[in-house]
Structure 1
Amino acid sequence: MKNPLRYIPIFLLNFICLSAFAQLQVQAKADKQKLFIGDQFRLNISVTGDQNAITGFPIADSLPGFELIEQGKIDTSIQGGMVLLQQELVLTSFDSGRQVIPPFHLEVGDRIYRSDSIPIEVTYSPNGVPQEYHDIKDIQEVKGDINWLYWIAGVGSLLALVLIFFWWRKNRNKHPAIKRYEHLSPYEEAMKLLNDLETEEMPVKERYTRLTYIFRIFLKRKFNWNAFGKTTYDLLLEVEKTPLPEDDYKLLAQTLRTCNLVKFAKYEPAPNEHSTHIGSIRHIIKSLNNQP
């Protein structure tokens, strides 16, 4: 008869692993949940857990309705035997109404840990209204000379600020300037753009930004998705609904996360990895194009 005691170490090991994962927690906290248009607020993202359970950190990809002003470094500390990773973002919003910061997520093994979503109320600054009204007085002559230079300088400065604001609004979500081939099919255009990307010389960040952009162009044209209005996480959820094989889906997720690390965390892949990542996106596009 087999000795049942030999299963105890395996049971204890599973119990320890499950306990470590159970203690992992992803949180997001904002120092303000009501603000005026253009006001800045701070968002703290943290991951707490056992050292062996934490395998990454949520990436602040894009937050619809908000603008990223500053992105702090990821700080590491130990509290009560647990590892704490923290990052602080400075955000603002120019869209009035109720905006929502979506949950940040972290994949560990087969599990996904998410923070709570955070509602943010963005309102216009209230105008001061006099408490008392008085009769209209006659026009009185102002004594003294008026320095028109001050008026001209003030009006000129105001116009310059208005022009800068509209220029910023126009260019904040501007896509990379690349040559398009819209007369081709979505698949043919994607292949042509990937070939151009592989042969052109450019900085690493621009290369991986274009790689993500080419993949989103294909999804928008092929499936009519709002590919440019979704985060990487939301985009992967949409792709998961397609008949794409599981191995291809994992390859896509890994490649897109690498692109985000290059764009937002200053990660620099080895030169020989550039062709590998471009080839991965080329393979995924071929698989999606062959789907019914």
Structure 2
Amino acid sequence: MRGLKDKVALVTGAASGIGLAIARRLAAEGMAVGVLDLNAEASAAAVEGIRAAGGTAEAETCDITDFGSVTRAVESIEARLGPTWALVNNAGWDTPMAFLETRPDFWRKVVDINYLGPLQMTHAVVGGMVRRGGGGRVIFIASDAGRVGSSGEVVYSGCKGATIAFSKALAREVARNNVLLNCVCPGPTDTPAMTAFVGTGEQGEKIRNAMVRGVPLGRIGVPEDYPGMVAFLASDDAAFITGQTLSISGGLTMHG
């Protein structure tokens, strides 16, 4: 992709799953990658793997629900790698539960991680992009749950829908600063989070099989299905794209 080499990307939730796949791809494109995650051991392993492949990466423990942790992590990574060009808001969490069985403590956790967390990261990073005057990119890993809804993920779906709306509104505010914001919406994806979500054994297999039947391409996603689009949106090839929401779901959801 054009314009990525030697620029800095921050990826949240980058120690595993989709975030790790994104971090690896951006590093392969020549970017210096800040691996932000709560899991320090897994973050260190991710950085080691990127460096072994010839890439540049640094890790920082970051709790996206804590604004102090966010600002410290951003400052630490930028002190080591340089100013951020691309922020990838990937970190998220949920557990399947019917809405009427949930309680306020669960709502707050889901909202803190999936909505307020990306807002805090964006505030901490975009301010620097605007002050420096060189532009930048923010890519949200949202979800098709935020576009069409998902049973058992009601609060999560609401957070992802809010994230999509937030990205569009902020894209308007900072467009003249050449800071571009877009959303990538994965469909069901085979990750450790998915395994925790659907469970194991016969019941988990039934849920997975039902997901596969709903996807025209005949499979659920894998983490490597998304990094190419993220790299594109971070690149000069996407310099005239902002405020957009792109589904990558094997045809499960099709928007005109």
Q: Same fold (TM over 0.5)?
A: no
Determine which structure has greater relative contact order: mean sequence separation of CA pairs < 8 Å that are 6+ residues apart, divided by chain length. Answer: 2
Normalising by the residue count of structure 2, what TM-score does the alignment of the two structures yield? 0.28
More strand by share: 1
Max radius of gyration: which structure? 1
More helix by share: 2
